[in-house]
Structure 1
Amino acid sequence: MNQHAVKRLYLMQVGSMPEYGIPLVCYLVQTEDGRNILIDTGLPEVIPVEGAEFENGQDVIQQLASIGLAPDDIDTVISTHYDFDHAGRHAAFTKAEYVVQRAHHLDAASNPRFALTRPEWDQPAERIRLVDGDTELLPGLELIETSGHVPGHQSVLLRLPTTGPVLLTIDAVPFAEGFTRDVPDDGQTPDAEGVRASTAKLLDLVEREPATLVIFGHDAAQWAGLKQLPDGYG
């Protein structure tokens, strides 16, 4: 077995949007040779006025500590995108390499949507790995470019030794009901066509390589039935 192969996946709920009952989540991937890969970092430690609808829970650093990991133990942070609830603690992981889609990172530089979290994601260039499109990061872990929610959003496909393929849609498909080729235009999505295209891309992927588990980004009903840290998927 390849020494970098994916061994385990942990799920963590780090906060919520109480008004809507929406969980805010992060993921930890561990490899056979002991690497720790964090997918997103959750909300900022202190939520500013602009984020009043968000509520912190047990943050990602506390949750990692519960299984004996400190921020310096994280080798890689996969940044799916720089939204407030996904990139709020990036700066805490000072030893990690950040992996983000080039299109997203470049857009964020002038996009006011990501200004609140800029002190977190705007790290030294030597610590940021920019990728272009679908990328195999290591055996058993693929980044899937899924623009639409924001430019350069990325989802993650994992191949676990026992569980099999697991797709993390993140915000490309936040709720199970949206995992359809007939995604309705709610009139509020700036890039509805991009959302439909990315959803279709993920549906094609699942048909091509049947996923044992598709985890949606903010689906409370699904989340309640999933294993959460300290339990995990192997």
Structure 2
Amino acid sequence: MRLYMLYLGTMQPGNIPVPGYLIQTDEGINILVDTGWPRSFVDAPVNPPGLTVEILPEDTVTARLDAIGLRPADISYLICTHLDEDHSGNHDLFSNAELIIQKQHYELARSGHPRFKANRKSWDHPSLRYRLIEGDYELLPGVILLETSGHVPGHQSLLVRLSETGNVLLAADAVMHHSMADAATRQMYITDMDDVVVE
């Protein structure tokens, strides 16, 4: 199995990278993790309060995939860690893939919660097929989804078991920075909302 980090732009201040990931299994299955800010931000970024988004043409998810010889049609699974703007801006390009998301998070986003409204045309496109899961879930051998609510309800991270490197945890926004690795001392931000209930 191979794991690629896809650099999908930067947020300022702080040079905060926006990552995506590609997992390729030994059987040739391609698994994409998140799709970054909307591709339209290359020419016309819409900056959230307090941030400046920087995306070059080569930072789009399609350009990053092309650099390793892949097209959107080659992706079998799209793992949705969550549907914030910087993670779900290009989901609509992956209609051949099955999108894997925590049921709790999908229902919250579909309920009309304003936080997930900006990219709704992308992540709620009628051509997309979602698999709703609940809790920890082994998608394929060596690719384990972990329910990690806290940043948002139903946030998920991934544990990837690589034969040569060992286990790699893709925490997404459960741990956005190494300073947040200790749950006892982790600073809570306005974007952390694990107390929302969907009825």
1:49 aligned to which of 42, 46, 51: 46
* 2:31 is the counterpart of 1:37: yes
Alignment match, 2:85: 84
Q: Secondary structure at the match of 1:113?
A: helix
Q: Distance in 1 between matches of 2:46 and 2:25?
A: 39
- Identity among equivalent positions (%) equals 45
Distance 1:32 1:154, change over 3 A: same
Q: Report the Cα distance in structure 2 between the residues aligned to 1:176 and 1:53, rounded to whole angstroms.
A: 22
Q: Give the distance between the partners of 1:171 and 1:116, measured in 2 at CA.
A: 18
Q: Structure 1 length normalisation: TM-score?
A: 0.75
Q: Are the aligned partners of 2:135 and 2:146 in contact in 1 as well (CA < 8 Å)?
A: yes
Match of 1:15 among 9, 13, 23: 9
Misfit runs of 4+, over 4 Å: 184-187
Gaps of 5+ in 1: 1-6, 195-234
Instruction: Measure the CA separation in 2 of the matches of 1:187 and 1:34.
Output: 39
1:142-166 superposed Cα distances (whole Å, 9 cap, x missing partner): 0000111011000000101111111
Which of 160, 176, 181 is the matching residue for 2:162?
160
**3-state SS, counterpart of residue 171 of structure 1:** helix
Q: Name structure 2 gaps, 5 residues minimum.
A: none
Local SS of the residue matching 2:174: coil
1 CA distance for matches of 2:189 and 2:74?
43
TM-score when scaled to structure 2? 0.88
CA deviation after TM superposition for structure 1 residue 49, in Å: 3.2
User: 1:8-40: CA deviations, max 9, x gaps?
Assistant: 000011111132210001000001111100000
Larger relative CO (CA 8 A, sep 6+): 1 or 2?
Answer: 1
How many residue pairs get aligned? The number is: 188
RMSD value, Cα: 2.0
Contact 1:185 1:192 in 2 (8 A): no
Residues 1:151 and 1:181: Cα distance change in structure 2 (over 3 Å): closer
2:76 matched to which residue of 1? 75
Amino acid at match of 2:174: A
CA distance in 1, matches of 2:166, 2:36: 26
Q: How does 1:67-146 map to 2 (within 5 A)?
A: 67-109=68-110, 110-124=112-126, 127-146=129-148
After superposing the two structures, state which structure 1 stretch, 119-128 or 16-25, moved more. Answer: 119-128
